[in-house]
A and B are shown apart, each in its own frame.
Chain A
Amino acid sequence: MREALVLIAGIIFLPGVVGAQNPTPARASAAPEKDVCSVSGQVVRAASNAPLRKAYIHVRNADEGPHAKGYGTRTDDSGRFSITGIPSGRYSLRVERVGYVDQFYGESGSQGHEAILALAPGENAHDLLFRMVPWSVISGRITNENGEPVIRASVVAMRSRVEDGERQLDVHESALTNDLGEYRIWSLGKGRYYIRADRDHSTSFPSRGALSRGTGYAPVFYPGTSDVAQAVALDVRAGQEVPSVDFILVPARASRVSGHVTSAIPGYKMTWANVMLAPASRSGFQGFGQEAVVDTAKGSFQIDGVVAGSYDVLLWATLGGTHRSARQRIEVRESDLSDVDLAIEKGAEILGRISGVQKEAARVEIVLKPAEGGFGERPRGDVKADGTFVIGEVSEGKYGVDVAHAGPDVYLKSVRIGAQDVLLSGINVGPTGIKGTLEVELGTAGGVVEGAVTDPDGLPVAGATTVLIPDGKLRTRYSFYRDTTTDQHGKFIFRGVRPGEYKVFSWQEVESGDWEEAEFIKPVEEKGVKVTVEENGRRAVEVKVISGDATAKTNP
């Protein structure tokens, strides 16, 4: 890393006027007298209700961006907390404490789904109670075919998730084995985890005790299979410690994968490049495999110990200060695979223009999502003040067009190239880009869909995940899906909804993104509440919560 010492600007200390802070409780700076709210309550251990000190409460405005300042404090000796001086609005609250799983306000059921605390001007939300659940742990030992400990083997705990309609495995936590071959994965929340053991492939600390050329290790999935389709998830309860999740890593025939990286961008020197193998399967992403550093002078790379299978070779490189990537699917059989060529494309430039919005244009970004999903880079371009945009470095392929940072009330109305509507079909980018310019129309006359979620007894359900799914042709347009959680009154609201036909579903317990899977929605299709959204229209609906796991979880 090169740094230049700056000697011109030293430190300029202004006479220290520290923002005056009252000791307790935490107080926000300037907030109009009427519009001042507070939150207070207690943090306890779930089973025993014993107060927990040294817990941190974080209050964030759910509607503002990441740069908005939050409010926070620490619990006292009786586990109590109090924060005053918060402006009215909708907030999410998170409590963290060493030894316990983070807890969100109103969280019921699935992790990561929280309720929104709506604070009306002058409201004091008191007696908030957070019940903290201890971390869950998975531990075990990894040995080789001789019963010897495998050192620095990698063990990952993955959860299944759906993104853009594709199911994949996300690494939640990982651990490396120590000199005794033991590993410990801790700080887990309850859930269903797929466990995978493998040699550690990082290049920063290459494994010693080199295997002879021609052998490698195939990753092993719990309960002891190399085939991810046969993997079984471990059901871990809150605060549970699951010991003896042991694995045996057996050497298998392996090959060498080698090749070259070429760059079609003249003048940009490749200063760093890394290739990584990702085992490819119908189950989507399931973690990374070996990686290797590319010799930037020769552009060559070599990866040893690759067991037979399908892989995506992924390249990340820094060229002339910019970050580039490339990928290629390879099939590794019994013999070495050489001449794997990864070409960094110059990429084409796509010009376009937006219409339909005026002053909001400055923050808007147009984003291209690769149709094949995965790790493809998402090229994007800022919309300039005059409404035009340029997306540079777009590799060949098919993309869906999306808009980002447009604000909660703006939606994507239409996308055209000339007279052709490409909202649903996406665009095909060739080596020189597209023929014509991309016309993106944004709408600000979106509708509002609001309502309440109730249980079979008619009682409001707080913290229920409520989803607005487009009906008809746009069902597979995942970027038009909207989701939120009900507040403490069981109420939800969606603003700036693109006019069209939708269905609203609500679950007590659901895994993030599950609703994007057709298989998941099918059995509950009839429970969705139909709603037609018109420009500037306002619709109110009552939704009955869907409880329990709607479908049996199948293997990935």
Chain B
Amino acid sequence: MRIRSAVFVMCFCGAFAWGIAGAQSPPPNGAVSQADLCTATGRVARFGTGEPIRGATVVLSVPYGDLNQRYSAQTDEGGGFAIKEILPGRYTTSVEHDGYVTQFAPDGWPQSSQPALTLSRGETSHELNFHLLPWAVIAGKVTDEDGEPFPFATVLALRRTFNRGMQRLQTAGFGQTNDLGEFRIWGLRPGRYFIRAADASGRARGSGVEERDAASQIAYPPGFYPGTQDASQAITVAIRGGEELSGLDIRLTPERAFRIFGRAYDAVRGQPMRGCCVYIFPAEDVGFRSYGVTIELDPAKGTFEIQDVVPGSYDLMAATIVEGRRYSARIRAEVANKDAEGVVVVISRGTPVRGRVSMEGAGTLDVTRMSVLLLPADDQLGQGFRSGHVKADGTFEVDDVSEGNYRVLVGGPRSGPYTKSATAGGQEVLESSLVVGAAGIKGSLDIVMSTAGAAVEGVVVDSEGQAVAGATVVLVPDGERRKLFDFYRNTTTDQYGRFVFGDVRPGGFKAFSWREVELGAWQDPDFMKPIEDQGVRITAEENGHSSIQLKVLASDPAASP
């Protein structure tokens, strides 16, 4: 979780010039005098009772900034704090204390947003107050088919999110059951949750592989509260701040389990794989990737047998290190209602993808921390990516890329030039995908960054024309580009309801704004359909500048407590 801090500063001097794209970072140290430094003060109290909270940590920091632009203080007996000698800049705030949900928005701001507040030179302090919501707790018991306690079960509290173009369930908290089958998940913020329990005893009813009769080959598949494997049948629970919801009992029922017989082959060294290991994971990613079982291979033949596998889809992975480099392979294995045999995992050497990043437009390319990422086009979970650092001369090499289709992305500090194009062998691959064959790619991958993007700025107002602070603003790309998660832009408005996007890729967009919205919801076509007409059309042009006024949309109910 990135801590973004904001310093809320009231300017007594009236209107000031609003810089576009440059407003991100404060002026360099050398140019700031003592008179330019600012102070921020405020109070932290408990939501509801208003009782002051002592020892809360208040942090102000610049997103992506270095440690010198991070300030913190602890609240005193009265819940008050003061941070002095702050450099001008655009900051985000966070306040945390055990027992409370970390708060990013001061009072009066949309509570689910992470506002960025602007601090201009020479601003004085202002009362910055936070009311913290106490943690919510979900507690209960997991039992087996006979109602007996189920220890060693991992219980996850999951929230629905939209990420990288897919709806996913993300883990918000977890607990493990004890000998009484009891679990307690604390530290939760208000919201609506799915509860899912999974058998994590890890021993899979045996140490090592065994000959077993059919009646003894059973396993417990994970289940959602109150006891179903189907997410659509699961009962979600809504909790408010400080609430303790107990008595959530989840029943897990066993199923006949099967085995996977296979072998792993190390094509890099040209021999059956020896020793360790093959890893098996459930293919469907719910919450975090849990319960990975590690299987050792027969040293002579490179074969393996995995027991206690409940019917379903799995990913089998194997890795090995040859001359200091790691090679791995992952395949999908389906287990229906019988043992799966003859499964083969082959670790092979991929090929390097080489190329160059160059820049168009004003300025020189800053390759600090820049890397080129190749993301397998069908890899929704983002785990199979490969990357290569960009060197000072702009060249890069991505190692060991296996055959497949990849999205090309440039990673690095967020602000700055946009990725204009990526071509390989004369073909444009940025908006489609890079096809890597068994022998690699033809020629090199040429990526062009550009500073000739557009600036899009504006203000968000409500139905009465009042500026809305801390509103989320999103630029949704047109047409086919909606499928490309990296083509979306989002930010939040400052205390004046203003927002700015720099280096926007030329093209058509629609701008939307919400007071409260679940992060990423705008990538969900179902979510966008009913509000499509309420967006404001923008055509971003090279070196162009658009200024718009957005009407804030009704809040997304899923986002609020």
Q: Give me the interface of A with B, judged by CB distance under 8 Å.
A: 1-14, 16-19, 21-29, 54, 56, 58, 60, 66-67, 69-74, 85, 94, 96, 98-99, 135, 137, 151, 178-179, 184, 186-187, 208-210, 212, 268, 320-322
With known contacts A5-B379, A186-B179, A210-B57, A74–B216 Cβ distance under 8 A: yes
CB of B178 within 8 Å of the partner chain: yes
Other-chain residue from A22, A67, A74, A98 in contact with B148 (beta carbon distance below 8 A): A98
Residues of A within 8 A of B178 (CB): 184, 186
Residues of A within 8 A of B202 (CB): none
Cα separation A10 to B332 with both chains bound (whole Å): 8
Residues of B within 8 A of A24 (CB): 213, 215
> Are A23 and B215 in contact (CB-based, < 8 A)?
yes
> Are B210 and A72 in contact (CB-based, < 8 A)?
yes
Residues of B within 8 A of A23 (CB): 213-215
With known contacts A23-B213, A209-B96, A9–B346 Cβ distance under 8 A: yes
Smallest distance from the beta carbon of A439 to chain B beta carbons, Å? 27
Cα separation A186 to B149 with both chains bound (whole Å): 13
Residues of B within 8 A of A54 (CB): 144, 146
Smallest distance from the beta carbon of B256 to chain A beta carbons, Å? 12
A3-B317, A73-B216, A179-B99 are known contacts; what are 4 more A-B pairs with Cβ within 8 Å?
A: A3-B319, A9-B344, A14-B342, A96-B203
Residue from A3, A19, A28, A70 whose CB has the most chain B CB atoms within 10 Å:
A3
Cα separation A178 to B174 with both chains bound (whole Å): 12
Smallest distance from the beta carbon of B407 to chain A beta carbons, Å? 13
Q: Give me the interface of B with A, judged by CB distance under 8 Å.
A: 55, 57, 74, 96-99, 102, 135, 137, 144, 146, 148-151, 178-179, 184, 186-187, 203, 205-216, 218, 296, 298-299, 317, 319, 321, 324-334, 338-348, 350, 376, 379, 383-386, 400-404, 438
Cα separation A322 to B211 with both chains bound (whole Å): 36
> Are B211 and A98 in contact (CB-based, < 8 A)?
no
Smallest distance from the beta carbon of B199 to chain A beta carbons, Å? 11
Smallest distance from the beta carbon of A30 to chain B beta carbons, Å? 11
Cα separation A94 to B348 with both chains bound (whole Å): 40
> Are B215 and A74 in contact (CB-based, < 8 A)?
yes
With known contacts A209-B98, A321-B321, A6–B386 Cβ distance under 8 A: no
> Which residue on chain B has the smallest CB distance to residue A13?
B342
Residues of A within 8 A of B321 (CB): 321-322
By Cβ-Cβ distance, the 4 closest A-B pairs, closest first, are A320-B324, A4-B402, A179-B186, A72-B210
> Which residue on chain B has the smallest CB distance to residue A67?
B298
Cα separation A17 to B341 with both chains bound (whole Å): 8
> Which residue on chain B has the smallest CB distance to residue A73?
B216
Cα separation A6 to B48 with both chains bound (whole Å): 55
Smallest distance from the beta carbon of A512 to chain B beta carbons, Å? 18
> Which residue on chain B has the smallest CB distance to residue A23?
B214
Can you report 19 residue pairs joining A to B where beta carbons are below 8 Å apart? A3-B319, A6-B347, A11-B332, A11-B343, A18-B339, A18-B341, A26-B212, A26-B213, A71-B210, A74-B216, A85-B211, A96-B205, A98-B150, A99-B179, A179-B98, A179-B187, A187-B179, A210-B57, A320-B324
> Which residue on chain A has the smallest CB distance to residue B386?
A2
> Are B339 and A6 in contact (CB-based, < 8 A)?
no
With known contacts A9-B344, A60-B208, A3–B135 Cβ distance under 8 A: no
Residues of A within 8 A of B135 (CB): 179
With known contacts A151-B98, A187-B179, A6–B345 Cβ distance under 8 A: yes
Residues of B within 8 A of A9 (CB): 329, 331, 344-346
> Are B331 and A186 in contact (CB-based, < 8 A)?
no
Cα separation A81 to B42 with both chains bound (whole Å): 69
> Are A58 and B210 in contact (CB-based, < 8 A)?
yes
With known contacts A2-B328, A187-B179, A212–B74 Cβ distance under 8 A: yes
Cα separation A1 to B325 with both chains bound (whole Å): 13
Smallest distance from the beta carbon of A236 to chain B beta carbons, Å? 14
With known contacts A13-B342, A98-B150, A187-B151, A4–B384 Cβ distance under 8 A: yes
Smallest distance from the beta carbon of B300 to chain A beta carbons, Å? 9
Residues of B within 8 A of A18 (CB): 338-339, 341
Other-chain residue from B57, B137, B402 in contact with A179 (beta carbon distance below 8 A): B137
Cα separation A322 to B99 with both chains bound (whole Å): 41
Residues of A within 8 A of B215 (CB): 23-24, 74
Residues of A within 8 A of B214 (CB): 21, 23
Cα separation A56 to B348 with both chains bound (whole Å): 40
> Are B206 and A58 in contact (CB-based, < 8 A)?
yes
Cα separation A210 to B328 with both chains bound (whole Å): 39
Cα separation A7 to B298 with both chains bound (whole Å): 24
> Which residue on chain A has the smallest CB distance to residue B55?
A209
Cα separation A4 to B376 with both chains bound (whole Å): 9
> Are A26 and B216 in contact (CB-based, < 8 A)?
yes
> Which residue on chain A has the smallest CB distance to residue B265?
A9
Cα separation A22 to B386 with both chains bound (whole Å): 48
Residues of A within 8 A of B330 (CB): 3-6
Smallest distance from the beta carbon of A210 to chain B beta carbons, Å? 5
> Are B213 and A7 in contact (CB-based, < 8 A)?
no
> Are A67 and B149 in contact (CB-based, < 8 A)?
no
Cα separation A98 to B181 with both chains bound (whole Å): 10
> Are B326 and A11 in contact (CB-based, < 8 A)?
no
Smallest distance from the beta carbon of B209 to chain A beta carbons, Å? 5
With known contacts A25-B213, A72-B211, A179-B137, A6–B329 Cβ distance under 8 A: yes
> Are B334 and A5 in contact (CB-based, < 8 A)?
no
Residues of A within 8 A of B97 (CB): 208-209
With known contacts A73-B212, A73-B213, A14–B341 Cβ distance under 8 A: yes
> Are B343 and A12 in contact (CB-based, < 8 A)?
yes
Cα separation A104 to B428 with both chains bound (whole Å): 66
> Are B350 and A4 in contact (CB-based, < 8 A)?
yes
Cα separation A466 to B384 with both chains bound (whole Å): 52
> Are A6 and B402 in contact (CB-based, < 8 A)?
yes
Cα separation A26 to B379 with both chains bound (whole Å): 41
With known contacts A3-B330, A208-B98, A321–B346 Cβ distance under 8 A: no
Cα separation A11 to B57 with both chains bound (whole Å): 53
Other-chain residue from A8, A67, A94, A209 in contact with B299 (beta carbon distance below 8 A): A67
Smallest distance from the beta carbon of A312 to chain B beta carbons, Å? 28
> Are A151 and B216 in contact (CB-based, < 8 A)?
no
> Which residue on chain A has the smallest CB distance to residue B289?
A1
Residues of A within 8 A of B299 (CB): 67
Smallest distance from the beta carbon of B57 to chain A beta carbons, Å? 5
Smallest distance from the beta carbon of A186 to chain B beta carbons, Å? 4
> Which residue on chain B has the smallest CB distance to residue A182?
B184
Other-chain residue from A7, A71, A268, A322 in contact with B402 (beta carbon distance below 8 A): A7
Residues of A within 8 A of B207 (CB): 58, 60, 70, 94
Cα separation A99 to B319 with both chains bound (whole Å): 36
> Are A321 and B379 in contact (CB-based, < 8 A)?
no
Cα separation A304 to B94 with both chains bound (whole Å): 22
With known contacts A6-B402, A322-B321, A70–B216 Cβ distance under 8 A: no
Residues of B within 8 A of A58 (CB): 206-207, 210
With known contacts A11-B333, A13-B341, A56–B206 Cβ distance under 8 A: yes
> Which residue on chain B has the smallest CB distance to residue A207?
B98
> Are A71 and B379 in contact (CB-based, < 8 A)?
no
Smallest distance from the beta carbon of A295 to chain B beta carbons, Å? 11
> Which residue on chain A has the smallest CB distance to residue B213?
A26
> Are A321 and B331 in contact (CB-based, < 8 A)?
no
Cα separation A25 to B215 with both chains bound (whole Å): 9
Residues of A within 8 A of B344 (CB): 9, 11-12
> Are A5 and B376 in contact (CB-based, < 8 A)?
yes
Cα separation A8 to B321 with both chains bound (whole Å): 20
Cα separation A387 to B420 with both chains bound (whole Å): 61
Residues of A within 8 A of B212 (CB): 26, 71-73
Residues of A within 8 A of B209 (CB): 69-70
Cα separation A67 to B276 with both chains bound (whole Å): 12
> Are B186 and A178 in contact (CB-based, < 8 A)?
yes
Smallest distance from the beta carbon of A261 to chain B beta carbons, Å? 18
Residues of B within 8 A of A98 (CB): 144, 148-151
Residues of A within 8 A of B402 (CB): 4-7
Cα separation A186 to B342 with both chains bound (whole Å): 41
> Are B341 and A27 in contact (CB-based, < 8 A)?
no
> Are A3 and B151 in contact (CB-based, < 8 A)?
no
